[in-house]
């Protein structure tokens, strides 16, 4: 019972065990029972003898008829004294009882039971002769933070829908509850737009991709890359996520990072006469949208399409990072617009533009989320959530100014950094962020005031995909660092994590996750000597953090930094 990840709040083991039998059942209100059944799908649990009876046909077909087909071996009841994600599980030799504050709590109770079963419960079907004992005891559990997230960049490398759905499943296994999808950047636009179809027709693919690393030689693979989600795909992803207590947070990163948008609609650029391609290399591009009202109207239409497809969108990320404002300063029309608004600098205009978009989103029922540059340039709506990727200090300033924040700092939350500086590692943006670094992370520094601390919604890890071309590499980068993130954001500290990890990796093995083994890559996970070779020392993470902290104090807050 002690090797659960994330560690539950209260754990009280008792002697003996309960064993699920074939045709075990769940009884209770349909929404709660369905959530338990989803988490324990491998058990193929039927309906109980009260509550829902949606599976009459199957029960009726079983020997003995509907009356005796299922034994109600798990009962789940609502407990309104608990928070919506909280639950209690009691296992005794005769039965399993769950009390849940809501469907999310019931799902998490199911996930905890799955971890209490043998690791084969993480396979998609039971192996022949499988037995499902669960140790007796009681668990009471509730999360420390409400935002326990993963960010996935699907622009630099598109991840097909199946990878997104699989990641959602793995987030739910770990009681992580936010999937921030970075849907638009210089290297690709990834959503269908019915109103502005050139976005996906032109913006979703590039002819080739660089194989250059940082300051290395410029070479290309000469292979086309692309893909996008239809609006129907987005609806499916959101519904799949909701059933697993995961909220999808879409991001359209503007006004910088705009090459893909401008490849499709060059008239939106700060210099409408410039022509752009979907970018085929990494780094910061000067391509920037104009901040004129026509751009806000264009984006408002696209935001509305995305919100309609995803269903309720409580949070919508609009980027705001790494903007090169030179083209704004060089445009007579944009300068005239700035002056007409009484704004002193292009940085102020950057803030005004993002505030305008946040107002649009408020009308669509969404709170805007931004990277920290948008906070530093000022003028955000009060309800805008800030992601301080450039470090803890800028996060503190945003919190002190009254913004909710989600910890996202490069160290230790950028999982595109290598876990070791070993030549065996595959190429990464830099070194080194270990599982232990993540487990030791404290989202609320002890020096913060209670008011500042109260602004921390939680934390999330970032999977930027310049060097993550596919799902196999994604597994390697995400896990087990993501397991540590789950422990930090749910349990609140690393206690017991290292001891629990070996058993948990057995679960991930059964699931089929190609995580990075703690001892280093398997032979076929190494970088080799070709384009995926490890290139040490390009960017050491400590150096990046020093540089970023300096930038957040610089007068020109929008000056781009290392990406
Ligand atoms: C970022 O890494 N530019 C948010």
- What are 441's strand-pairing partners? none
Protein residue whose Cα sits closest to atom 2 of ligand 1: 563
Question: What is the C-alpha radius of gyration for the chain, rounded to an integer number of angstroms?
Answer: 25
Share of the chain above pLDDT 70, in %: 93
Backbone angles phi and psi of 208, in degrees to 5? -160, 170
Label each residue of 65-88 as H, E or C.
CHHHHCEEEEEEEECCCCCCCCEE
Distance of CA 393 from the midpoint of ligand 1 (Å): 16
Q: pLDDT tens for residues 28-83?
A: 999 999 999 999 999 999 887 544 434 333 333 334 334 445 566 899 999 999 99
The set of protein residues with a Cβ atom below 6 angstroms from ligand 1 is 321-322, 371, 389, 563
| Cβ-contact 351, 379 below 8 angstroms | yes
Phi, psi torsion values for 259, nearest 5 degrees: -60, -40
Ligand 1 pocket test: pick from 284, 322, 373 the residue with the most ligand atoms within 8 Å of its Cβ.
322
Active site amino acids = 185, 257, 322
Ramachandran class of 492: left when φ > 0, alpha when ψ lies in -120 to 50, beta otherwise: left
Q: What separation in Å is there between the alpha carbon of 140 and the centre of ligand 1?
A: 37
Which pLDDT tens digit goes with each residue over 326-372?
A: 999 999 999 999 999 999 999 999 999 999 999 999 999 999 999 99
**β-bridge mates for residue 188, sequence order:** 185
Sorted by where each begins, the domain ranges of the chain are 10-141, 149-468
Band of pLDDT at residue 377, cut at 50, 70 and 90: confident
Q: Measure CA 166 to chain center.
A: 12
Query: Which CATH superfamily groups domain 10-141?
Result: Chitobiase/beta-hexosaminidase domain 2-like (3.30.379.10)
| Chain position carrying tokens 């340039």 | 377
Instruction: State the average pLDDT over residues 238-263.
Output: 98
Q: Give 541 Cα–ligand 1 centroid separation in angstroms.
A: 14
Q: How far is the CA of 54 from the centre of ligand 1 (A)?
A: 47
Task: Give the atom of ligand 1 at the shortest distance from the alpha carbon of 408.
Answer: 4
Number of Cα atoms under 13 Å in the Cβ half of residue 389: 22
Is the separation of the CB atoms in 18 and 80 below 8 Å? Answer: no
Cβ contact 286:279 at 8 Å: no
Q: Tell me, which fold does domain 149-468 have in CATH? A: TIM Barrel (3.20.20)
Taking the CA of residue 319 as reference, the ligand 1 atom at the shortest distance is: 4
**Res 152 pLDDT > 80:** yes
Distance CA 279, CA 260 (A): 7
- The pLDDT of residue 539 is 67
Per the DSSP assignment, residues forming a β-bridge with 540 are 431
**Helix (H) or strand (E) run with residue 475 in it:** helix 471-478
Ligand 1 atom with least separation from CA of 321: 3
State the pTM of this model: 0.95
Distance 176 CA to ligand 1 centre (A): 21
What's the chain's length in residues? 563
Tell which atom from ligand 1 comes closest to the C-alpha of 371: 4
- Give the residues across from 254 on adjacent strands: 319
């Amino acid at each position: 019972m002690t090797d659960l990840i994330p560690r539950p709040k209260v754990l009280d083991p008792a002697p003996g065990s309960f064993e699920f039998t074939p045709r075990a059942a769940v009884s209770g209100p349909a929404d709660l029972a369905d959530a338990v059944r989803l988490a324990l799908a491998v058990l193929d649990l039927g309906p109980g003898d009260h509550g829902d009876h949606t599976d009459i046909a199957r029960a009726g077909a079983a020997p003995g008829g509907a009356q005796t087909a299922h034994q109600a071996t798990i009962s789940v009841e609502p407990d309104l004294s608990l928070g919506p994600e909280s639950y209690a599980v009691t296992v005794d030799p005769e039965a399993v009882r769950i009390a849940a504050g809501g469907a999310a709590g019931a799902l998490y109770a199911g996930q905890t039971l799955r971890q209490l079963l043998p690791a084969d419960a993480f396979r998609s079907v039971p192996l022949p002769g499988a037995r499902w004992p669960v140790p007796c005891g009681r668990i009471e559990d509730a999360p420390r933070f409400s935002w326990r997230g993963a960010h996935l960049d699907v622009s630099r490398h598109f991840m097909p829908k199946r990878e997104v759905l699989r990641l959602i499943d793995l987030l739910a296994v770990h009681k992580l509850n936010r999937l921030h999808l970075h849907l638009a950047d210089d290297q690709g636009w990834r959503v269908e737009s019915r109103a502005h179809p050139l976005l996906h027709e032109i913006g979703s693919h590039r002819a080739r991709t660089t194989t250059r690393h940082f300051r290395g030689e410029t070479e290309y693979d000469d292979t086309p890359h692309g893909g996008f989600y239809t609006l129907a795909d987005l609806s499916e992803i959101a519904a799949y996520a909701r059933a697993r207590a995961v909220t999808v947070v879409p991001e359209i990163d503007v006004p910088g990072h705009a090459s893909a948008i401008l490849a499709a609609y060059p008239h939106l650029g700060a210099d409408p006469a410039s022509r752009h391609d979907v970018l085929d290399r990494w780094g910061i591009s000067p391509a920037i949208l104009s901040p004129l009202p026509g751009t806000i109207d264009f984006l408002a239409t696209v935001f509305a399409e995305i919100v309609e497809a995803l269903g309720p969108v409580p949070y919508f990320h609009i980027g705001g990072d790494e903007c090169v404002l030179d083209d704004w300063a060089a445009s007579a029309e944009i300068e005239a617009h700035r002056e007409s608004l009484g704004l002193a600098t292009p940085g102020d205009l950057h803030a005004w533009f993002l505030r305008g978009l946040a107002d649009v989103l408020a009308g669509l029922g969404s709170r805007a989320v931004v990277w920290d540059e948008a906070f530093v340039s000022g003028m955000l709506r009060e309800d805008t959530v800030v992601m301080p990727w450039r470090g803890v200090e800028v996060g503190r300033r945003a919190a002190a100014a009254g913004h909710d924040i989600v910890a996202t700092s490069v160290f230790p939350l950028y999982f595109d950094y290598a876990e070791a500086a070993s030549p065996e590692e595959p190429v990464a943006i830099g070194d080194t962020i270990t599982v232990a670094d993540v487990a030791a992370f404290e989202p609320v520094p002890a020096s913060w005031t209670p008011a500042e601390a109260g602004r921390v919604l939680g934390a999330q890890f970032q999977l930027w995909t310049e060097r993550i071309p596919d799902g196999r590499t994604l597994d390697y980068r995400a896990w087990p660092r993501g397991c540590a993130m789950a422990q930090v954001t749910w349990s609140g500290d690393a206690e017991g994590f290292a001891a629990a990890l070996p058993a948990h990796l057995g679960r991930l093995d059964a699931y089929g996750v190609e995580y990075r083994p703690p001892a280093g890559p398997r032979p076929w996970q190494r970088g080799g000597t070709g384009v995926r070779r490890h290139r040490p020392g390009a960017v050491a993470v400590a150096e990046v953090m020093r540089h970023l902290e300096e930038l957040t104090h610089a007068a020109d807050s929008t000056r781009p930094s290392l990406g």
